[in-house]
Amino acid sequence: SLIAFCISHFALPLNPPTMPSLLPLLLLLPSALSLPTTSTTSTSAATIGKIRGVRDPIYHLYLQASTSSPSTPVLGPESSAAEFTIGGTIQSRSTSLYLNVQNATTSYKPLKWESTATTTAWGLEGDTIITVQGSSYGRRD
């Protein structure tokens, strides 16, 4: 089955080889990324998999670190996609860095790969990764 990764209100730049004309732009993700898994709804059990877009304009682009700036999360081709351990945190299995939400005054929040997990509000709900209710981010449907 697939788990959709919903990071609405968070921003990711597109990986340059995938869409070079959009390189300087941040993409506000209105919905879904997914990963193969057999896990059920949980905020405590870890799930491992690749995270990919399942809706336009990010359909079948995969979450990964930028090759020129490893702390910058980007969306790119499957050939360079990372695998992640997903529970209350999202951690890259190749770099051990954590996906954290950054502070911003905008309605969307930028994301960054960091050595310490400061965002522990990721949760699984059915086939969707969300920011959990009760977190400072609230739930994003």
Per-residue pLDDT at 12: 58
User: Domain extents for the chain?
Assistant: 2-131
Q: Which residue has the tokens 């990010």?
A: 58
Which tens digit of pLDDT belongs to each residue from 65-115?
Answer: 999 999 999 999 999 999 999 889 999 999 999 999 998 888 788 999 999
Structure tokens belonging to residue 48: 């491992």
Structure tokens belonging to residue 4: 């959709």
